[in-house]
Amino acid sequence: MSTTLMEKPSPAANWPAWFTALQEAAFAEYENTPTPTRKVEAWRFANIKALDLSPFVDAAPVASEGRLINASTGLAETSAKLVLGNNALLHREGTALPKGVILEPLESAATNHTDLFKKYFMAKPVELGSRKYAAFHKARVAGGAFLYVPPNTTLTLPIEIFQWVEGENASVFPHTLIVCGENSQVTVIDYFKSADKLPALACGVNDLHLDSGAKLTYVAVQDWSRETTAFHLNSTTVESNATCTALITNFGGGYVRGECLSRLIGEGARSEMFSINPVEGTREIDQRTLQDHVAPRATSDLLYLNALDDKSRTIFAGLIKVEPGAAGTDAYQKVKNLILSDDADPNSMPGLEILNDEVRCSHGATNGPVSADELFYMTARGIPKDTACRLIVNGFFNSLLERLENTTLRAHLMQLLEQRSR
Amino acid sequence: MDTKLNLNIDRSVGDFHYDVDYEFDAGTGLSEKTIDYICDVKKDPDWIREFRKDALRKFNSMPMPTHWASPDLENIVFENIRYYLSQGTMPKRSWDDVPEDVKRTFERLGIPEQERKFLAGVEAQFDSEAAYSNIKAAVGDQGVIFVGSTEGLQKHPEIFKKWFGKVIPTGDNKFSALNSAVFSGGSFIYIPPGVKVKHPLQAYFRINAENFGQFERTLIIADEGSEVMYMEGCTAPKFETSTLHSAVVELVALKGAKIQYITVQNWSANVFNLVTKRGIAHEEAEIKWIDCNIGSRLTMKYPGVVMKGRKARGEVISIALAGDGQHQDTGAKMIHAADETTSNIVSKSISIGKGRSTYRGLVQVGRHLKGCKNNTECDALLINTDSRTDTYPAITVRGKENACQHEASVSKISAEQIFYMQQRGISKAAAMSLAVNGFVNDLVQQFPMEYSVELKRLIDLEMEGSVG
């Protein structure tokens, strides 16, 4: 059962045959693509040692199904909920979705909605360095979630997806594919959780596609065990006048490589890319982003907040690319590092490539400690220094949460942050 | 506003060429033989010969840095380049002794006149070697040494050997290895403790020959509490084939010393300008690079300061102007290696036509340091629709008692500004020129008077072609 991941996987029963053929090709691509080195710009500063995947094995079916389902609690009210564990669907809630909405594991979507699936499943190449790991994901993906919201459909309550890993050195391949039809609206919260404190591998993809006028809020609550090696590869496509707000929170994971690529391909498209990263111990969060402005008069706004304690590391490498035709672009990119320890290691590479003169474009990177004045103010009022520090860090993250429109969601995330920091 | 404007920069001043008879010519191509030839002509000591050969091996083994740099580098054909051309290795002390065919070049560039007016010393390099080198008697009497690298090596080996290659190791990058293999010319400067040189020392680098590679090597040591300002200017005629300029400049500012290094680079548009510049600032010392890149086909230059002593300071002020077909890939490196060190980077670039300007930066603060600060500002101005600008900073600031901030912005000339000026009867061309000068004005102010006037003239953009 527990075979190493370095061997060619045996075809899974649930996938249609045409897909297993793609998986075989993907595994060959994985094997033929060299492991990255630090000399490659996309892996500059990265901890290459973390890329040794040889200890990890195929995940067995989950043993504590009931416990995981019970622990899959998020917002009080949702329009639907999926719980997946070790690459298989465990549970679903909410069947009365509006007409035409599809919410299914990938295998059944590939069988029942083949055209839609083929059109959007990993349709865009992974360009930010992890091509090898995207191929690895494709070769082994199972379970996952496919959400399709038809045109002019609004889901007022969020959809929640829980993706669990269980077992020592188990490997999971979470996949969330969201397709929003014209003028549709939806909010999705994607939770990544570990059943135990054991080492594990997560190699996930989350692709978002927004047709014209669609509005999507996507929140990833990454809460893997501190021993987990994780890849989260994202590709977002935004058509004209659509608005995508994506927030990635990295609460867990020992080594996390995140790649977020947002393509603004329609006029008036808007992409907000946010990230909250409280890191401590020896955790490393390596994030690469691209805001690719293809269409004119689109807006992108990136804000990544890192708070680094102990010997933790962060890498932020972002690029705003304004293509020759993208006149009237409005693009912003900012990374802020709050340094809580002398041994923390923040690396920032905020980049710009501008090929059109009619743009408003700026980026910034700041590094600094907790403000001594703020700390003094609070300790003078009898708040212990530790508590004061925690409040300041949470306040730092809260400034970003306030950018979310949905106040219930905002409060829920703040609560998760507070629970975590205690 | 219509942006189909064509701005031309006056590069005519340096674009002329005289035929010169060279006494020494290493031929084209690069091998151990070329190095032996250079060593024999320059009567290099054995350790330098070995140093050069070791550098050649490193150069040959290192790949082109095209995994991050412009693929245009692949167009350099090292076999077609002439690595050494001179009329003799010892520079003249008087312009009267400089051979006529070389002297007329520098006269046309106005060097002797500037020397009389405001310089403390001048070195004029023509292809591989300095043709003229002199400092004012009053400055020489203070113990200031200002000679070419060959002369520095021969006459002051004890100082030279101590610092040479220590700031920039041979294998730092492929082009520093190339320079280490075939270096010739450049300045060797030593300022004794406490001496403050009032007027600038100037070097002028001229490429005259076609298919030529200029590899000057400059080493400046400012001893404790001393101060010096060094200026370099560069020009070359425009040839059909490409020319390579690959210098290495090492600065050492000992305790409390101040070095200002000013460059106005106006190479013609066939020159690959690939330069490594770095300084080490000891306790309370200050190194300031003021860098202006106007010419060349491709410039790659990232002046750096390693702040090794407490309270050391590094600064890079950079102006880059990328005309049609040019790529100015410039930036700065700041390495904080001691407490309370501060650095500042201000970079402004202008891209015209299909010109491309790139800022690449590196800021590093080591762990367990206290009170380090860095400030970086990059502003880019795009003149035409197809102009391009890139920014690639890399910032690693460790330690919770340090702070850094980086900001960059991209803009174009505001239509309102131009409209406002045109309303007052200023032509569109003049208005554009004023706007560009206004964009860089605060940096131009940091140059010495004589240079800022020259700079303004260079950036005095002439508009050609129609509007509309």
Residues B175 and B76 in one domain: yes
Mean pLDDT for the stretch of residues A354-369: 90
* Residue bearing the bigger pLDDT, B248 or B412: B248
User: How far B292 CA lies from chain A's nearest CA (Å)?
Assistant: 22
Contact B393 A365 (CB under 8 A): yes
Q: Which chain B residues touch A351 with a CB distance below 8 Å?
A: 390-393
pLDDT of A132: 96
- The whole-angstrom separation of Cα B105 and Cα B95 is 12
Please say if the pLDDT value at position A93 is more than 90.
Answer: yes
Q: Contact A288/A248 with Cβ under 8 angstroms?
A: no
Q: Contact B63/B71 with Cβ under 8 angstroms?
A: no
Q: What is the DSSP string of B352-410?
A: -TT-EEEEEEEEEE-TT--S-EEEEEEEEEE-STT-EEEEEEEEEE-STT-EEEEEEEE
For B86-122, what is each residue's pLDDT tens digit?
887 778 888 888 888 778 888 877 778 877 777 778 8
Enter the tokens of residue B321: 């102007």
B395, B396, B401, B402: CA torsion to nearest 10: -30
Residues B424 and B410 in one domain: no
Q: What is the DSSP string of B68-114?
A: TS-GGGGG--GGG-B--EES-SSPBSSGGGS-HHHHHHHHHHTHHHH
Q: What is the DSSP string of B222-248?
A: E-TT-EEEEEEEEE----SS-EEE--E
Q: Which chain B residues touch A345 with a CB distance below 8 Å?
A: 367, 396, 398
Contact A339 B398 (CB under 8 A): yes
Residues B196 and B137 in one domain: yes
Provide Rg for chain A, Cα atoms: 21
Residue B2: inside a domain: no
Residues B258 and B303 in one domain: yes
Residue A6 confidence class, pLDDT cut points 50, 70, 90: confident
Residue B134 confidence class, pLDDT cut points 50, 70, 90: confident
Domains: count for chain B: 2
Is some CB atom of chain A closer than 8 A to the CB atom of B390? yes
* Residue bearing the bigger pLDDT, A150 or B8: A150
CA A294, A299, A301: angle at the middle one, nearest 5?
A: 115
pLDDT of B3: 38
pTM of the model: 0.90
ipTM entry: 0.85
Residues B309 and B402 in one domain: yes
Q: Which residue has the tokens 């978002």?
A: A208
Domain edges within chain A:
17-369, 371-422
Residues B194 and B205 in one domain: yes
Mean pLDDT for the stretch of residues A240-269: 98
For A124-157, what is each residue's pLDDT tens digit?
888 899 999 999 999 999 999 999 999 999 999 9
CA dist list (Å): B117 to B113, B121, B199? 6, 11, 10
What is the residue-averaged pLDDT of chain A?
94
Is some CB atom of chain B closer than 8 A to the CB atom of A352? yes
Please say if the pLDDT value at position A61 is more than 80.
Answer: yes
Domain that holds residue B444: 420-468
For residue B13, the 8-state DSSP code is G
Residues B156 and B201 in one domain: yes
Within 8 A by CB and 6+ apart from B136, the residues are: B120, B121, B199
Provide Rg for chain B, Cα atoms: 22
Residues B278 and B345 in one domain: yes
Rounded percentage of chain B residues whose pLDDT exceeds 90: 56
Q: Contact B186/B148 with Cβ under 8 angstroms?
A: yes
Q: Which chain A residues touch B404 with a CB distance below 8 Å?
A: 365-368
Mean pLDDT for the stretch of residues B446-451: 75
For A175-215, what is each residue's pLDDT tens digit?
999 999 999 999 999 999 999 999 999 999 999 999 999 99
Q: At what angle do helices B111-118 and B100-109 cross, to 10 degrees?
A: 60
Considering CB atoms only, which of A39, A45, A367 is closest to B397?
Answer: A367
Please say if the pLDDT value at position A1 is more than 70.
Answer: no
Contact B398 A362 (CB under 8 A): no
Q: Which chain A residues touch B367 with a CB distance below 8 Å?
A: 342-343, 345
CA dist list (Å): B248 to A314, B35, B186, B294, B304? 34, 17, 9, 19, 12
Residues B310 and B437 in one domain: no
Is some CB atom of chain A closer than 8 A to the CB atom of B394? yes
Residue B265: inside a domain: yes
pLDDT of B259: 98
Is some CB atom of chain A closer than 8 A to the CB atom of B443? no
Contact B408 A362 (CB under 8 A): yes
Residue B187: inside a domain: yes
Give the closest residue to B60 by CA, choosing from B80, B38, B79.
Answer: B79
AA letter at A256:
V
Residue B10 confidence class, pLDDT cut points 50, 70, 90: low
Residues B444 and B398 in one domain: no
User: How far B401 CA lies from chain A's nearest CA (Å)?
Assistant: 6
- Scan residues 3-32 of B and list those with Cβ closer than 8 Å to A: 3
Residues B315 and B439 in one domain: no
Residues B430 and B350 in one domain: no
- The whole-angstrom separation of Cα A285 and Cα B20 is 61
Please say if the pLDDT value at position B253 is more than 70.
Answer: yes
Considering CB atoms only, which of B383, B404, B410 is closest to A352?
Answer: B410
Enter the tokens of residue B64: 């082109």
Mean pLDDT for the stretch of residues B381-390: 90
Mean pLDDT for the stretch of residues B284-311: 95
